[in-house]
A and B are shown apart, each in its own frame.
Chain A
Amino acid sequence: MNDFTKVMPTVKFTYALKRFYPDLKEVRVQGKTVAEVLKDLDKLYPKLSTYIVDDQGMLRKHVNIFIGNTLIEDKESLGDMVDEEDEIFIMQALSGG
């Protein structure tokens, strides 16, 4: 059985976020859900989660999060489970003009 308290998946980011966080790079952080991963990311990059979720914790309309090649399902509370070997991709959706 997994010991979820020690799950440390890898998080990769769209280049677009480097505009706001120039030092942003691929990291391993702690969390057994996407929401927990974001919370841990904020310790490394303060307020980063506010770029990814709105003030109610919902995934922003034009942001996508993938676990591996699969879009997360729970965009409201980011409860999708992640595993030690997972790679999480935080991407911007294609939109605007």
Chain B
Amino acid sequence: MSTEKNTLLLGTRKGLIVYKRNTNGWQYVGDSFPGIPVSYAISDEKQQKWWACQDHGHWGCKLHYSADQGQSWEEVQAPVYPENEEIKDGVPASLKYLWVLQPEVNGNADHILIGTEPGGLFESKDGGKDFQLVDGLWNHPSRKTGWFGGGRDHPGIHSIVVDKNNPNHIYIGISCAGVFETKNGGKDWHPMNKGLKAEFLPDPDSEIGQDPHLLVAHPKNQKIMWQQNHCGIFKSDDGGTLWYEISSNNGPARFGFAIALDEEDTNTAWVVPAVSDEVRVAIDKSLCVCRTTDGGKSWETLTQGLPQESCYDIVFRHALDTTGSTVAFGTTTGNLYISNDKGDSWDCLNHNLPLIHSVRFV
């Protein structure tokens, strides 16, 4: 059995906010970078080093780490696109957004991956002192003509899944391009999008141009992969070779951004649905979480403790997480909800937070 984590890092539009669990439940303990947008915050496990990706409105994307759980922070050089690289012909590539950071790749604290907009994956092998663009992906023949922005101006890498037994075997999720896999440490990449449906493309079965809002793999069996996609919820039982849709036939579980998997049970997952891509608000102005316990064959709609009227909250892709029996999510209107019984009931920890980009148990 895994040990439940007792700290929550929230990347928000107004800073990094921290909650901790004690005998009285979850308590707000403070913030870092007040007023500065934090697009993603995470900790590695071995060193308990916290990482904060900033999207400062004036001064650009910044990357900080803390070796003392947020008491002090050190800025390191954020990834730099090599000179003369282009997003597409005639459009110079520059760093637009830090989407996701994978610390401590397979237990190696020096090995870090960062997914960015406009579509570059960066790798550090010296603990974050220096990041290099992963050329093999950047030079993929589909990139300049087949990748495009989804929700933001340019394509972005928001999901990184590393094979626990092989750090050279990596999956990434790109909006919009799809899932890509490398088996040789990033030298060569191929799309893994068979079975997905891009209803927004002339050819929904296109191998390139899919929009996986979030890609995850089960920690106990990484061949079991899930994605909350722009066009539904999809699952693969064979490491992404073939995807099949598991959206609810007649319930709300279909459109959304986030998905979280139970740490132990390979059949249990949660999503937080929204109406649709054209109407990005809570369904029927009511907030619900959907949970499956049978691998996506059916979905329960969980509402106890969640607002059931005049609610406009949606949940961004990194703003839902779980540890043990605890599930937490943060919303675009600054509400932080927590469940201690796997989603059966919910409490709101705070109604007055800034827009929440990411929620991570550490």
Contacts and interface: CB of A to CB of B under 8 A. Distances in A.
Query: What secondary structure prevails in chain B residues at the interface with A?
Result: loop
B105 interface: no
Nearest to B59: A51
A50 B77 contact: yes
Interface string A74-97: 000000000000000000110110
B95 interface: yes
Contacts, number: 41
Contacts of A51: 58-60
A63 B59 contact: yes
Interface residues of B, number: 15
B80 interface: yes
B81 A56 contact: yes
A54 interface: yes
A55 B80 contact: yes
Contacts of B77: 47, 50
A47 B75 contact: yes
A50 B60 CA distance: 8
Nearest to A16: B58
A26 B93 CA distance: 33
Contacts of A93: 58
B94 A55 contact: yes
A54 B58 contact: no
Contacts of A96: 57-58
A18 interface: no
Contact of B57 (A52, A54, A58, A62): A62
Interface of B: 57-60, 75, 77-81, 83, 92-95
Given A17-B59, A51-B60, A96-B57, 6 more contacts: A47-B75, A50-B60, A51-B59, A55-B81, A60-B59, A95-B58
9 contacts: A50-B77, A50-B78, A51-B59, A55-B81, A55-B94, A56-B83, A56-B92, A62-B57, A96-B58
